[in-house]
Chain A
Amino acid sequence: MYNNDVDKKIEERLAEMSNFDAKDKADIWEAIEQELFTVDNKGVVKMKPKKKRWGILVAAAAAMVLAFGSQTETGSALVDKVKEMFEPEKDVQIEIEGDKEDTNLQLNEGKEADYVIYVDEERYVMNKTETGDVITTKEPLEERYPEVSMTITQVKDKGTEEVYNELRNTILAVYPTIILEEQVTEPVVGQMLLAKENGNEWDNEMTRVYVVDNEAGGSFIIQQKYFLEAEEGHGARFDQMLKEFHIVKE
């Protein structure tokens, strides 16, 4: 079989398989029009529920509220209580580059025990530093690889919109190409910015930043750093761990 024949048959089948009704186009436009251009759309039937607005939906994906008896308790006592309230480990299934993989995640608490996250300790380690909690590869990467890390910090006195607006310029100074910038509900609920260095080489540095409401008037900043080739690996694993990011309220 000639190569051109193969290409032609694939093209033909893809075109045939993806046929749709002209009405579908009209339906989609109608729904878009209602979402973007209709001021008051109460009572209008839509293809899908309207998204919740930034600033209203601020809880973390699986935020859990724990009641603590006294604010005078020591940090370690808080940590003990947090550990009592969460399972010490979880087994999850993650899809890495198309293959499903079973992964064990271990409970780790944040610097001030105001959140917990389940970490894949087979591959990563969480260090509490002055600048934040840093999850990075257990085995240091060779020098030829750009940084791979996920750093969680908290800004207690600034709301999410203020933090995000300030952070955005700092990120863009280093990673000028915005890939996506949007509100997300997974792996956490918040504002997300995905940006990278210019270029499309395997080692172009990328960052994915989430700003999440800390439910106490402040914000969590979660910044992932990796490189283009690692997006489907480390990037996917970081997001999987973030699905198990839980805010703990005093």
Chain B
Amino acid sequence: MLQKIINGDKEAFRNFYNQQIDKALRVAILITKNRELAKEATQETFIRVYKNLSSFDSSRPFEPWFYRILTNECNRILKKESKTTHLPDYAEAELKDTSISTKDFSELDEAIQSLSDLYRIPIVLKYLKGFSEKDISVALETNLNTIKSRLHKGRALLKDYLIELEDRGKKHV
């Protein structure tokens, strides 16, 4: 399929898009915390992938390369937006609007969103995208041990939060 896309086959690119868009857009939403910015980042990612596919080394795994471009695009767009907008306020509001979960779940959502990007992005790539630690390390161009420690710390922070929520729930019973 990739070779067909390099040759300019629009239908192959459309199929590729259909295969990738769901997870890509979800990851972008969780990184940018804003649906419109996520759409822009995802759109730009597919365009860049199309234009740069011929420089991709096909002996290497494709998806970490794709997500490297996606995370870079999200960061670039966030940086651009932060120059003109106070992003955190409306970004958080945007995600809260869509939350239809229980109070505990919405508190967990806040805990996830409040994690530093250093921990949140590897967590998103692991739990949403299903990447291995090695894939994340390649996608984020960060040393494998660093990724392991960020995943461990991010997960530990969320676990502590969940335990606290559980304890709070027991006290109310």
A→B interface (CB under 8 Å): 1, 3, 5-7, 9-11, 13-20, 24-25, 27-29, 31-32, 35-37, 47-48, 97-98, 176-182, 186, 196, 200-202, 206, 228-229, 231-232
Contact = CB atoms under 8 A, between A and B. Distances in A.
B123 A10 contact: yes
Contacts of B47: 32, 35-36
A18 B27 contact: yes
B87 to A, nearest CB: 14
A13 B112 contact: yes
B148 interface: no
A47 B14 CA distance: 18
B21 interface: yes
B127 A28 contact: no
B16 to A, nearest CB: 11
Interface of B: 10, 13-14, 17, 21-22, 25-27, 29-30, 35, 38-40, 42-44, 46-48, 50-52, 55-57, 60, 65, 68-69, 72, 76, 79, 95, 98-101, 105, 108-109, 112-113, 116-118, 123-124, 127-128, 134, 137-138, 141-146, 155, 158-159, 162-163, 166
Contacts of A228: 141-143
B72 A180 contact: yes
A177 to B, nearest CB: 6
A163 to B, nearest CB: 18
Contacts of B166: 1
B124 A14 contact: yes
Contact of A32 (B17, B112, B158): B17
